[in-house]
Structure 1
Amino acid sequence: MRTFTKFLIFIALGTLIYLSFSTLTPTKNYYGSDKAENFSLTRALQHVKKVAQEPHSIGTEAHSKVRNYLVQELQKLDLEVHTQKAYNLNASGIFTAPQNIIAKIPGTNPSSNNDLLVLTHYDSAVHSSYGASDAASGLAVILEGIRTLKVQQKNFKNNIIICFSDAEEIGLNGAEIFVKKHPWAENIGLVINFEARGSGGPSNTIIETNTGNAKLVEAFQNADIPYPLATSLMYSVYKVLPNSTDATVFRENKNIPSFFFAFIDDHYDYHTANDTYERLDRKSLAHQASYFLHMIPYFANTDLKSLTTKEDYVYFNFPIAHFVKYPFSYITPMVFLAWIGFIGLIIYGFRKNKLSVRGIGKGFLNFGLALLTLVFVGVFGWKLMLLLNPEYVENLQGFTSNGHAYIAMFVCLSIAIIFFIYRKKFKNPTDRNSYFITPLFLWLLINTGIAIYFKGAAYFIIPVFFALFSLWILFRQKQPNPWLLLLLGIPAIFIFSPLIQFFPIALGLKMLSITTLLCLLLFGLLWPIFANYNKKHFISFMALMACGFFFIKAQTKASFSEENQKPNSLVYLADINKTKAYWCSYDQILDTYTKRFLTEESLMQNTDNRVFHSKYNSGFTFAQPTEYINIPKAYIEIKSDVDSINKGYTNYRLKILPKRNINRMELLLDRNDTLTKVKANGETQKQLPAKAYKSFLTYYAVDKDTLNLSFSLKNNKPAKLSIYEASNDLLDNPWVHVPPRNKDMMPKPFVLNDAIITKQEIALP
């Protein structure tokens, strides 16, 4: 193969990799027309801008403003709108009074269990997120999408129910009151839910169902979505992860299937003060819109009852073919056929002297060395980056603002290592062919495991078939056509290239070991292309230079700045019983702001390290005694009596009335192994936390409600109840005076932050 041809092949390979990403989403101008009959991204963005003007978590004044705005916008669309408000105590002990916004577009021929629900939430994450992506983007797509459909005067057979749920961010409480208490929930056949877990990137499609997915997958394909990013890999991954959305509540409680769409890139913005209108990726919004404009008209005219089946499909998106699917029943035969083909080719190769035992052995050693090296690099390389940049520990999401540079760096380093290990020139085609056996064998082992344990990824076998055909060509031709080999490598490129980036984005940069491993596995499938490159050491050197470039790029953006703000935390905790107070922080590293209140010698033994309910179960790391301020404490009234039915138990009834504007109340017992019959304002908790001194109730206050709590406790030993009241007004209150943060800092998300917390401890009679 001539040098110029090799260069063109390399350029073509890079172009294909680029296309594997660029073809996933529409451009930001995809919905650029502002004509009334067309969906307009400009109009949708105006909704985002309005909703995301300020943080609007449940119970805040801004939250009420957003609700009023949404009601008015739905009314402008000539829809009859109502709100649903009710108390809800979920299985995790989170109690609040969400208020959903609900409307209906009547269908021309509705039938039972056939209503289509379009869903997103309107509360932002507690306490400082502006919620532009999560989930003002969903609100905007639905509002502009409904407007577009009404202007186009499209008629739909099914009723379309619109629900802007509340309290999603604290525990899916709004979805739960809709499912359990709203009469319209009884007639829903399918849920379409819009979400976000970052501020950019392609929007992934997730199917939630208690049964098989086959009919849902067929319907998704029939909806003719222009950019259908959907794979059964994600379907299987989501099933084993602890994450859930509002749609999960419908599946678990009413057996209602759903599609939900979420973009997850720029994960460092998730739930932070940087989830703003300006940082929302316009392409991501356009991608969400494309789902809405094709899914809603299709499913609003579909018999939703027909979507139930026991059969599952393997499915994945692919350019040109658009969307590929086949039954799970094909998985085992396809893997078996691939093994037969592989064994047959090996027999043929030895008979025709196209393979050698020595060459296969050398190929195994090279691939094994590359495998061990890259796993080591992926695991310990990121740990080295953490040693170089200890401040990264403050990003609880696990993905830094320069995370994409690190992904590129580790990809380039992987390429450098691979090509260095494979730098030797081949004197005869036998070694070239023999080296291909090891990656093919490993891929077949992987697909065998997938067929048994993780069927959603079974489409990984398809590039293996193309690779087996490439091996056949290597056997048949001494100088195979490089363009044909590139053509046969396209399935591997389009299927695996996006995954190299996906896992560290979705699961955090600690998963860079998956990136390095996938680089090697993809190289293995593309071996026929690279086998005839004689100057692999030059490619290795260039990749190493690129690695250095991305390392420098990452490091120059590693320090916190106004563009890349440091998350930090500070709370004032007053122990009313002991008349002591503390400055507390969740940070691992103190900065110039927190050092005004805390010292490096602050010891946690100075106060109880309570782990308040949070996404990552974070506890205080620093606590510094400070001046005690007499902050108004809650009025608490306790009544008790011996349980006449369950002997040995005492029934307690508490009335707790906050005397200041609080956002949250946390209740803990020093023992709860025998805690039963928990009720809050009449709502029953069906599942109780099992660990001792864990919060058994987290109350997000709405409208200054009184908390009426009742529970039963075994009379085996005395018990103490601790009540923590928190208001997210540390920077704006009449008691303590805390200056604003520096511009290169922001409130740390996922924890109880910027709060004044009071603790009252009560001995239960």
Structure 2
Amino acid sequence: MVSNSKNPGKARRLMGIIAVILFIVVLVVSVLLFENPPKGKRTDAPESAFSADRAFVHLTQIAKQPHTFYMPENENVRSYIVEQLQGLGLDVDLESHPIVYNRGNGNEQATLHNIIATLKGSLDGKALMMSAHYDSVAKGPGANDDGVAVAALIETARALKAQAKPLHDILFVITDGEEGGLLGAEQFWLGSKYKDRVGMVANFEARGASGPSLMFQTSSGNGMLIRGFASVAPVPVSNSFLADIYRKMPNDTDLTVSLRTGVPGLNFAYVGSWDKYHSAEDTIDHVSKATLQHHGDNALAVASHFGAMDVSGLKDSDMEYFNVYGKLVYYPQSLNLPLAILLTVILIALTAVFIGKRAASIGRVISGIGFVVLGFLLSALISLGYYELLNAINERIGMSFYHFSFLAITLIVHVLLSLYLRRTRNELEMVISASFMFLFLVYVVTFLLPGAGYMFGLPLVAHCIVLGFLIASKDPSAALRRSWMIMLLSVVPGLLFTTLFHLLFMAMPPRVNVVCAVLFSLNLFLIYPLTSNIAALLKGSGRTRSTGKARFSV
């Protein structure tokens, strides 16, 4: 039945749409606020705390000019680091390694110098290794890559000296020649007299000039590492999806070398303002003190926690993990497949119930899956065309608007698609179709990208719960069209995919917007009642497809 008074109905629908959009905006903004790096602490911060201002003093000496491993300036940087670590009372050793390298003009000889500083613990046993590299690329002074990390480790060593003595030794290994191909790390793990003492590595890097310090990589069997990091990280920004993506990429850091030896470890980096990476603009003028503070907070937290425990047996089962509202949530990755099987049983059972109640049609649910595929294909193709157009005209727009424009295009595609879909099927059928597509993706990632299991599994858990409550409803599609119900459907996808989009937008070139358009398309189908309501508002009709005795009303 349709309301006899059209204007009040349109007004209510419009207000409902606005309420849902505002709710999603608040949800997204609140997630992003918790991922901002903390404000940098000043020099008057407590002695046992990390201070970005204190670390920045070191950075001004480290990042004066380019200092790749074959440049004379590299010796000045090395001398400064050694002097600072010795001044803190650490035992400092300089290990030299003659090498032959080629810059394109034939073989040349050089000597790498790795700095190893030891903060003595109270007991014998395996040591925690905190690592970074002090050389830069030839193009720039390397303020972010990797000057911030080196300065952070010097300040971390100072803060640790002000705390209780660690249980076991902590080694600060500042390598040379990383930009030449992980040369210093290779030499350390080939023949350093310290290598057999290492039980765990925490490496600090950069691929940009701003943003949060991400824990973006772990060794396999990371259960104890994740539990430990989650318990002490002040502002954890990390997820297992990101770690799996990184494993598929050709990028390497010094941690790559240690992982080959079987030593467990964590890897940290920041990726905002990636255009400054490996460029002449990687100067102290483009260093974020908030990012420096976050990098240092992570370093001090890891050193304090793992330095106070036995790191000789850290391997455990892998974890699925993600950050939300300042906490790192985790659970065993081994639950992915049982969860997928359970969700399959539940979703099939729910669908059967709704078909039995004549609230849905099996044919329209199956064909709806085809429309889900069509939706993300259209979104991808149109977004790709838009990307190529912007490249062709060399249009310069702000990055925030740039990213938003791709999401807006995807939303428009879905509204237009909904104008047709709402005449042929109801909201319940499309939500079930989207759920089956997510179920398919749960199986795909379980076997191919297990760290992404939470990304598709948990939204599906939430949707199954909502669908379960709708069994008692006389008109499930009408219930799904209600504003509060759409808000409920959007919570879990919003929490999880906001972080992923944020990291992809920060870390990757603009073409990543096409990938994000596909992921956004999938999420819009999960909250299909929103685009259906927008389409109804544009069409000026309250009618939607009926499947059974009753025609659904809005």
* Same topology, TM > 0.5: yes
Shift of 1:503: 3.3
Alignment match, 2:552: none
- Are residues 1:82 and 2:93 paired? yes
Q: Are 2:447 and 1:452 aligned?
A: yes
Tell me the equivalent position of 2:433: 438
Match of 2:258 in 1: 250
Across the two proteins, how many residue pairs are aligned to each other?
519
Residues 34 and 325 (structure 1 numbering): CA distance in 2 closer, same or farther, change over 3 Å?
A: closer
Q: Given residue 347 of structure 1, which amino acid in structure 2 is its aligned partner?
A: A
Q: Give the Cα–Cα distance (whole angstroms) in 2 for the partners of residues 336 and 219 of structure 1.
A: 30
Q: In the alignment, what sits opposite 1:286?
A: 293
| C-alpha distance in structure 1 between counterparts of 2:167 and 2:416, whole Å | 62
Higher fraction of helix: 2
Q: How does 1:120-131 map to 2 (within 5 A)?
A: 120-125=132-137, 127-131=138-142
Backbone CA RMSD of aligned residues: 2.8
Equivalent of residue 421 in structure 1, options 417, 423, 447: 417
Of residues 403, 406, 427 in structure 1, which corresponds to 2:402?
Answer: 406
Query: Within the alignment, does 1:150 sit opposite 2:161 as a pair?
Result: yes
Letter in 1 for 2:129: L
Report the alpha carbon displacement of residue 364 of structure 1 after superposing the two structures with TM: 4.4
The change in CA–CA distance for 1:413 and 1:533 in structure 2 (over 3 A counts) is closer
Q: Is the 8 Å Cα contact of residues 190 and 256 (structure 1) preserved in structure 2?
A: yes
Contact 1:94 1:171 in 2 (8 A): no
Partner letter of residue 298 of structure 2? Y
Q: CA deviation at 1:239?
A: 2.1
In structure 2, the residue matched to 1:21 is 32
How far has the Cα of 1:535 moved from its partner?
A: 5.7
Equivalent positions of 1:323-334 (< 5 A) are 323-334=328-339
1:47 aligned residue: 58
Contact 1:103 1:162 in 2 (8 A): yes
Describe the superposition over 1:494-553 as per-residue Cα deviations: whole angstroms up to 9, x where unpaired.
211232343354342233221110110121223345544466659xxxxxxxxxxxxxxx
The reply on whether 1:105 has 2:119 as its aligned counterpart is yes
> Is 1:479–2:479 an aligned residue pair?
yes
- Secondary structure of the 1:289 match is helix
Ranked by relative contact order (alpha carbons within 8 Å, sequence separation 6 or more), the top structure is: 2
For the pair shown, which has the larger CA radius of gyration, 1 or 2? 1
The aligned counterpart of 2:518 is 517
Structure 1 residues 518 and 244, CA gap change in structure 2 (3 angstroms): same
**Which residue, out of 261, 271, 277, partners 2:284?**
277
Q: CA 1:2–1:95 in structure 2 vs 1: closer, same or farther (change >3 Å)?
A: farther
- 1:214 aligned residue (223, 237, 241): 223
Query: Is contact 2:188-2:195 (8 Å) kept?
Result: yes
User: How far apart in 2 are the matches of 1:30 and 1:333?
Assistant: 46
| Alpha-carbon distance in structure 1 between the residues aligned to 2:311 and 2:435 | 43
Query: For the residues of structure 2 that align with 1:384 and 1:501, how far apart are their CA atoms?
Result: 24
> Could you say which residue in structure 1 is the equivalent of 2:465?
469
The superposition leaves residues 203-234 of structure 1 with CA deviations (integer Å, 9 ceiling, x where unpaired) of 2213443x422222222223x21222222212
Q: CA deviation at 1:124?
A: 0.7
Matched with 2:175 is 165
Q: Which has the higher strand share?
A: 1
SS in 2 for 1:97: strand
Q: What displacement does 1:177 show?
A: 1.8
Cα gap change, 1:94 to 1:402, in 2 (>3 Å): farther
Residues 188 and 256, structure 1, Cα contact 8 Å, conserved in 2: yes
Q: Distance in 1 between matches of 2:185 and 2:430?
A: 55
Partners of 1:35 and 1:28 in 2: how far apart?
Answer: 15
Partner of 2:546: none
Structure 1 residues 30, 490: CA separation in 2 closer, same or farther (over 3 Å shift)?
farther
Q: How far apart, CA to CA, are the structure 1 residues paired with 2:391 and 2:422?
A: 40
Structure 1 residue 415: Cα displacement? 1.8
Q: Following the alignment from structure 1 to structure 2, what is the Cα–Cα distance between the partners of residues 177 and 368?
A: 50
Per-residue CA distance 1:154-205 (angstroms, 9 max, x = gap):
2111101111111001111111222222211111000111100111122221
Judging changes above 3 Å, is the alpha-carbon distance between structure 1 residues 212 and 358 closer, same or farther for their aligned structure 2 residues? closer
The structure-2 alpha-carbon separation of the partners of 1:289 and 1:401, relative to structure 1 and needing over 3 Å to count, comes to farther
Alignment-derived partner of residue 312 in structure 2 = 305
**How far apart, CA to CA, are the structure 2 residues paired with 1:464 and 1:94?**
58
Do structure 1's residue 231 and structure 2's residue 239 form an aligned pair? yes
Q: Displacement, 1:282?
A: 2.7
Tell me which of 55, 71, 74 is aligned to 1:60: 71
Counterpart of 2:83?
72
Q: Which residue of 2 aligns with 1:179?
A: 189
Displacement of 1:299 after TM fit? 0.3
Q: Are the equivalent residues in 2 in contact too, given 1:470–1:485 (CA < 8 A)?
A: no
After the TM superposition, which residues 280-679 of structure 1 pair with which residues of structure 2 at under 5 Å, given as runs? 280-309=287-316, 311-319=317-325, 322-357=327-362, 359-360=364-365, 363-364=368-369, 366-389=371-394, 403-423=399-419, 431-460=426-455, 461-475=457-471, 476=473, 478-479=478-479, 482-483=483-484, 485-503=486-504, 505-533=506-534, 537=538
CA contact (8 A) 1:194 1:262 kept: yes
Give 2:393's aligned amino acid. Answer: L
Deviation sequence 1:452-506 (CA, Å, 0-9, x none): 2221111120111112223334552543663354244222112112323433543
Cα distance in 1 for residues equivalent to 2:79 and 2:397 = 34
Judge which range, 89-98 or 328-337, deviates more. 89-98
SS of the aligned residue for 1:98 comes to: strand
- Flag as ranges the 4+ runs of structure 1 deviating above 6 A: 90-95
Distance, in Å, in 1 between the alignment partners of 2:26 and 2:43 is 27
Q: Tell me, yes or no, if the aligned pair for 1:79 and 1:104 is still in contact at 8 Å.
A: yes
Which runs of no fewer than 5 residues in structure 2 stay unpaired?
1-11, 540-554
Aligned partners of 2:133 and 2:150 also within 8 Å: yes
- Identical counterparts, % of pairs: 25
Does the aligned pair in 2 maintain the 1:106–1:158 contact within 8 Å? yes
The residue number in structure 2 matching 1:576 is none
- In structure 1, the partner of 2:3 is none
